[in-house]
Amino acid sequence: MRATGRKSFRMFTAVLLIMMLVATSVGTALAAESAPTLSKKELDLKVSKTYTLKVKNADSKVTWSSSDKAVVTVSSKGKVTAKDAGTATVTAKVDGKKLKCKVTVTNDFADGRGTKKDPFQVKTFSQLKKIKNYRTKHFVQIADID
């Protein structure tokens, strides 16, 4: 009788440990699922293009910021606007956490910033066709285009 009692106790202990492990695993998985996450960790944009980042599982208001407003700006709703070629980090602060997205901005031209002092440099026919998308920018042709 005593051996049967020990066997039952061991079986009960083993089942209890397995249940605790499963409960811990499920709890950890649920906690990870409900943690706030950013829709993208990296983003590539062309100058003057936009993309709206989203925070999933946010329990409170999201506050957005850009590490370099000359490269990208971000609205209170997460809309990122590419201003100039370069790299910047967009940060979403939510529920005491900082979520970051690295944004790389490029332009469609050989070089330049599109300003009067530093115009976009047009070298190819493909670049020439893209001028229509940058109506307020300045350009200079730097090569013969057939």
* pLDDT-based confidence at residue 6 (cuts at 50, 70, 90): confident
Q: How many other CB atoms are there within 10 angstroms of residue 37's CB atom? A: 18
Our CA angle for 50, 56, 62, nearest 5°, is 70
Q: What is the token pair recorded at 139?
A: 């350009």
Is the pLDDT at 85 greater than 60? The verdict is yes
pLDDT more than 70, % of the chain: 89
> What kind and span of H or E run contains 88?
strand 86-94
pLDDT one-digit tens code per residue, 34-59: 889 999 999 999 888 899 999 999 88
Q: In this predicted structure, which of 5-9, 109-113, 121-125 has the lowest mean pLDDT?
A: 5-9
Helices (H) and strands (E) in the chain, counts: 2, 11
- Predicted confidence at residue 30, as pLDDT, reads 53
